[in-house]
Amino acid sequence: MSGTQKLVVAFAIVLHMLDGFDILVMSFTATDISATWDLSASQLGVLLSSGLIGMALGSMFLAPLADKFGRRNLILLSLSFITAGMLLSSVSQNMVLFGVMRLLTGFGIGGILVNLTVITAEFTSDKWRTLCLTLFASGFPLGAILSGGIAVVLIADFGWRAVFLFGGICSGVMIPVVYKLLPESLDYLLGQRRPGTLEKVNKVLGRMGHQPINELPELPAAQASNESKLRQLFSANIRRSTLLFWIAIFAVLFNFYFVMSWTPRLLTAAGLSAEQGISGGVALNLGGIIGSLTLGYLAAFLNLQRLIAVFMLLAIVFTVAFSQFYTELIIALVLATGIGFMLNAAIAGLFALGPSLYPVSIRSTGMGWAIGVGRVGALISPIVAGSLLDKGWETASLYNLFAVSLLISMVSVFIIKRAASQAP
């Protein structure tokens, strides 16, 4: 891989770290925000979900525009939404305005996440693609860990608003850097037939150390189709894979965002200190980094679908164990690290699997809608958890309930493989 290809992967990891910071900052500031506006568990659940609602909308409606206007342009637009949402969140004076700003932030994150996944897949070689995609996936939990560490320091000295201000400034700084240095996807450019496309393709080829081409290659029949991109996701050869991938990613993110959003708060409610609660969230994300990297290494030797399913099964085991020992700090931290490891490995595997299910012409649309459907599960889970807590559910029962969704996702992953191999 050329220096330009490695630069694209590095950009994707850094920007995904910002995504992790910006979306999971709510889980680390939830206690202070709740105290500021005297929120009930259900109201806090709505705020925790507002960013996830935005992510779902951004994945489904903002990200697919990249198939028409370019990956790079949509990444820049998404960064602008994220920056505005984070900065305005820091100065919001009531729950409603704050929730709207979290929605805007999530909208941008939904758009950028999809296109970072796609552009990473398109810029990496066949040999290193799965590893690079899992390195990319590790950026999210790394950003979340930084979010927890920075939140502890900033909240202690300046209050929770400073955490959102910090995130907004970091996102804003990346806009001119991305504009200057990030190239457009070659796969996207090669699918265009606009004036100047050949020159743009050769410019990117030059940056990658390749010789220029004299003419654009012929478009594949599927890419030349006038059929709507969303309808192409349900064409005969990929319909079953699309639906099963949606089920798998919905179910796993339903579990993931309950665990990530509520664990620090529930540990604190169980009698641990606020700092110990945040430590639980950090442990989840620390395990997530290691899990993502482990998946990337193992995928070079083992079947990806089977790996994903195995990690999901182990995540179920760790989640059930955590439900029994969450009040014991040391044991809880070890189990939280294991949950983060298994969950993030499984999610990294799904993100690596997804782009391979779709042709170039509908790749952003395919991943956008899949991640958008997943975000529906993500946004529902904190609200469901908050409502159940208000009804008197015990913490142990919640974790056991949400473990069931991992079983559903695991089964769907197995069937995706068969559906893909049986497709005409």
Query: In this structure, is residue 265 part of a structural domain?
Result: yes
CATH code of the domain containing 101: 1.20.1250.20
d(CA 353, CA 370): 12
pLDDT at 33: 92
214 occurs within a structural domain: no
308 belongs to a structural domain: yes
In a domain, 201, yes or no: no
- Give pLDDT, residue 221: 52
pLDDT at 124: 85
Distance in angstroms (rounded) separating the CA atoms of residues 248 and 374: 8
User: What pLDDT was estimated at residue 420?
Assistant: 42
Name which of 354, 342, 358 is nearest 290 in CA terms: 342
Distance CA 174, CA 265 (A): 31
**According to the model, what pLDDT value does residue 141 have?**
74
Rg (CA), the chain: 21
pLDDT at position 322, please? 84
Q: Where are the alpha helices (DSSP H) in 70-160?
A: 71-89, 95-123, 129-158
Tell me how far apart the alpha carbons of residues 362 and 230 are, in angstroms, rounded to a whole number. Answer: 8
Number of domains the chain contains: 1
Single out the residue of 84, 80, 103, 106 nearest to residue 20, CA to CA. Answer: 106
Task: Identify the pLDDT of residue 424.
Answer: 34
For residue 140, the model assigns a pLDDT of 78
**Side chain identity at residue 263, one-letter code:** T
Q: Do the domain assignments include residue 211? A: no
Q: What's the whole-model pTM score?
A: 0.72
Supply the pLDDT for residue 149: 80
pLDDT at 224: 47
175 class by beta-carbon count within 10 Å (0-12 exposed, 13-18 middle, 19+ buried): middle
In tens digits, the chain (424 residues) has pLDDT values of 888 889 889 989 999 888 888 877 887 788 889 999 998 878 887 887 788 788 888 888 888 888 788 889 999 999 999 999 999 999 999 999 999 999 999 999 988 988 888 888 888 887 788 788 878 877 877 787 777 788 888 888 899 999 999 999 999 999 999 999 888 888 788 777 777 778 888 888 888 878 888 777 776 554 544 456 777 777 777 788 889 999 999 999 998 888 877 777 777 776 777 677 777 777 777 787 788 788 878 887 888 888 898 999 999 999 888 888 877 778 878 888 888 889 888 988 888 888 778 877 777 788 888 887 887 887 788 788 888 888 888 878 888 888 899 999 999 988 875 444 443 3
Residue 392's domain comprises 3-183+223-422
